[in-house]
Amino acid sequence: MEKELEYSIIIPVYNEEKVIKESYKRIKAVMDGISSEYEMIFVDDGSNDQSKEILKKISNDDFKVKTLFLSRNFGHQAAISAGLEYSSAKAIVFIDADLQDPPEVIPEMIKKWRQGNEVVYGRRIARRGEGFFKKATAAVFYKFINAMSKNDFPEDVGDFRLIDRKVAEALKQIKEKNRYLRGIISWLGFKQAEVAYERDERFAGETKYSTAKMIKLSFDAITSFSYFPLKIATYLGFLVSGVSFIYLIIVVYQRMFTDTTVTGWASLSAINLFFNGIVLIILGIFGEYIGRIYEEAKGRPLFIVDEKHGFADASIASRSKLKD
């Protein structure tokens, strides 16, 4: 009879052939020092380098390592969700494979969890290897999302965290496709605590979170937790209408009581371009929300698992039955 697992460590991977072995080595060293039963679940998110082969070898050599291979690149948040779906421990830790979030912080998270906290997130007090632009935009984003949303999202916090099984089960009930996990976990509530740490530079390789992906994640966060942009569209509509009405009064006054005339088409063109720009922005905001409604309505799965290694057939069958 297998011992009940205390911890599941979920590690999403995308083209990390240069860092996987070191990531596995450091996480294993930390977890072996805790003297509790654990599993490591690597989720390969459609890598096209040697990541898959490396992960298979590690899984074959270490029975505590389990691997999921998604059929294509579904994205970081979907990869974490896949690992969560197949986790089976009392506490689950999310940590990226790039080692920017040091595994050595995990014991402190576990300590906070044992004190009764159900969510323990890592707060970055330093971000080594990140430029001014990324730090500045991250700071602005957290201020912006907190100002627009009714929820209170902790600042300088990523997906690196520990959650209790109770939280994991609640999280698995969330079926959103364009998901912002750190926001969803904050929205769930439960007793939460933080562990401060200094974020390191990448151990090797290049970041897989491009500017475009960061922008998409930002839009996912904003549209998932706030409809304030729709309110902005309404406010802009009233504002533009008010300005237009005032301008109309001025034009009528000039026509009837003064000899002032407007020559040329420059001013008229400028006004038309301004109004058309406002209309297009409003339509774009509407389109963003409607597009996300369309994505949710299609009901497609969040991810597709192509292969899995190290999982007991019985536990997989059990999970499949629950999903049906």
Which H, E and C letters describe the chain, residue by residue? CCCCCCEEEEEEECCCCCCHHHHHHHHHHHHHCCCCCEEEEEEECCCCCCHHHHHHHHHHHCCCEEEEEECCCCCHHHHHHHHHHHCCCCEEEECCCCCCCCHHHHHHHHHHHHCCCCEEEEEEEEECCCCHHHHHHHHHHHHHHHHHCCCCCCCCEEEEEEEEHHHHHHHHCCCCCCCCHHHHHHHHCCCEEEEEEEECCCCCCCCCCCHHHHHHHHHHHHHHHCCHHHHHHHHHHHHHHHHHHHHHHHHHHHHHHCCCCCCCCHHHHHHHHHHHHHHHHHHHHHHHHHHHHHHHHHCCCCCCEEEEECCCHHHHHHHHHHHC
> Would you say residue 2 lies in a domain?
no
- Structural domain range at position 68: 7-226+302-323
User: Is position 103 within any domain?
Assistant: yes
Question: Is residue 124 predicted with pLDDT exceeding 80?
Answer: yes
Number of domains within the chain: 2
Amino acid letter for position 228? F
Supply the pLDDT for residue 324: 35
- pLDDT at 12 (0 to 100): 92
Under the banding of pLDDT at 50, 70 and 90, the label for residue 27 is very high
Residue 115 has pLDDT above 80, yes or no: yes
Question: Quick one: 130 and 250 in the same domain?
Answer: no
Confidence of residue 46 (pLDDT cuts 50, 70, 90): confident
CA distances for 315 relative to 8, 60, 86, 310, angstroms: 15, 19, 9, 11
203 with 152, same domain? yes
**Domain check: are 158 and 248 in the same one?**
no
Are 99 and 141 members of one domain?
yes
Confirm whether 126 is domain-assigned: yes
Q: Assess if residue 1 is contained within a domain.
A: no
The per-residue pLDDT for range 151-167, each reduced to its tens digit, is 666 667 778 889 999 89
Residue 25 pLDDT exceeds 70:
yes
Note whether residue 80 is domain-resident. Answer: yes
Q: CATH number of the domain at 61, please.
A: 3.90.550.10
Instruction: Identify whether residues 182 and 106 lie together within a single domain.
Output: yes
Q: What pLDDT score was predicted for residue 1?
A: 39
172 vs 257, higher pLDDT? 172
Answer yes or no: is 96 within a domain. Answer: yes
Residues 65, 214, single domain; the answer is yes
Tokens 């407007």 belong to 262
For position 277, what pLDDT does the model report?
Answer: 67
> Do the Cβ atoms of 102 and 109 come closer than 8 Å?
no
**Together in a domain, 108 and 250:** no
Tokens 């690597």 — which residue? 42
Residue 310 falls within a domain, yes or no? yes
Query: Is residue 316 over pLDDT 60?
Result: no
Shared domain for 195 and 250, answered yes or no, is no
Same domain, yes or no: 233 and 131: no
Question: What pLDDT, in 10s, does the model give residues 213-261?
Answer: 566 656 666 666 555 666 666 666 667 666 666 766 766 666 666 666 5
The yes-or-no verdict on residue 53 having pLDDT over 50 is: yes
Do 61 and 164 share a domain, yes or no?
A: yes
pTM: 0.67
Share of the chain above pLDDT 70, in %: 60
Do 156 and 30 share a structural domain?
A: yes
Residue 214, domain member (yes or no): yes
At 18 the pLDDT is: 87
pLDDT of residue 176: 77
Q: For residues 177 and 294, state if they share a domain.
A: no
Residue 118 has pLDDT above 50, yes or no: yes
Q: Which residue has the higher pLDDT, 276 or 78?
A: 78
The 10s digit of each residue's pLDDT in 61-78 is 888 899 999 988 888 888
Q: Between these two residues, 117 and 299, which has the higher pLDDT value?
A: 117
Collapse the DSSP code of 202 into the 3-class scheme (helix H, G, I; strand E, B; otherwise coil) and give the result: coil
In tens, the pLDDT along 129-147 reads 555 555 566 556 556 555 6
* Residue 270 neighbours by CB under 8 Å, 6+ apart: none
